[in-house]
Amino acid sequence: METFNDVISGNGLVLVDFFATWCGPCKMMHPVLEQVKATLGDKIRIIKVDVDKHNDTAGRYGIQSVPTLMLFRNGEILYRQSGAMSKSDLMALLDPFLNQ
């Protein structure tokens, strides 16, 4: 079974959405992430981490508010931001990392 560390350590881009089921802004991010995945396809992997079920992982990365988006490649944090955002804002944020 693939672990969180396995996923973020790959050489592809991985966008991690740290969320909680009770969080309103987190629920707003779900369709945005689906749209981004539909647009980018295999250029990015998007995973969701429920902070209540995986508080060890959330704690390791100091997640204090949700949603928090983190972008990884080769286990390295490339970007981190808390709060919901629009598809256009997220696409603009990801764009510089897509061709690296």
Lowest-pLDDT choice from 19-23, 28-32, 49-53, 96-100:
96-100
Q: Give dist(CA 51, CA 18) in Å, integer.
A: 6
Answer yes or no: 23 catalytic: yes
Is residue 33 one of the residues assigned to a domain? yes
Q: Which domain holds residue 46?
A: 4-94
Confidence band for 20, pLDDT divided at 50, 70 and 90: very high
In a domain, 99, yes or no: no
**CA-based nearest residue to 25, from 81, 59, 57, 68:** 68
Average pLDDT, the chain: 95
Whole-model pTM above 0.85? yes
Strand partners, 15: 46, 71
Q: Is 25 a catalytic residue?
A: no
- The residue from 7, 23, 40, 44 that is catalytic is 23
Instruction: Note the pLDDT tens digit of each residue in 64-92.
Output: 999 999 999 999 999 999 999 999 999 99
Specify the number of domains making up the chain.
Answer: 1
Q: Which one from 8, 13, 14, 26 is the annotated catalytic residue?
A: 26
CA-CA distance, 44 to 33, in Å (whole number)?
A: 11
Separation between Cα atoms, residue 44 and residue 1, nearest integer Å:
20
Which CATH number characterizes residue 16's domain? 3.40.30.10
Q: Calculate what percentage of the chain has a pLDDT beyond 90.
A: 95
In a domain, 100, yes or no: no
